Structure 1
Amino acid sequence: MEITQLKVGMWVESFHGVGKVIGIDQQNNAVIIEHKDDHQLRAVECNELVDQPQLHTGCDRYY
């Protein structure tokens, strides 16, 4: 995904799983993700993120 598409609070998916964006690092083209299951924080490069339009703010599962 492009870093310009990302916002704090949105849900994203990577090979690490689903998590919420809690920070955006434009200089390093990365985001800080809090994983929904274990609440661990991880820095993930934007090219590792999968565009999942089914993930919406306020909903952490597919429908």
Structure 2
Amino acid sequence: MKYSAWEPIYEEILKDFGFEREKDEEAAGIAYEILRSKGNKGEDVKREIERLIKGKEAIICGNAP
């Protein structure tokens, strides 16, 4: 899907959940850094993300590049 087609859908998701685009982009950057720092190794990434969010409320959406 091209971003031009995705962006209106993304904007609706932000609106529906009451998310701020700036904060959502910041969260995506943090997730990216976690993945990159772990060398993007499946189980290591999974464990690190679990450690960071376990016991906390989290909403994770996406299939972004």
User: What is the TM-score normalised by the length of structure 1?
Assistant: 0.23
The structure having more radius of gyration, on CA atoms, is 2
RCO higher in 1 or 2 (8 Å CA, sep ≥ 6)?
1
Structure that is richer in strand per residue: 1
Structure that is richer in helix per residue: 2
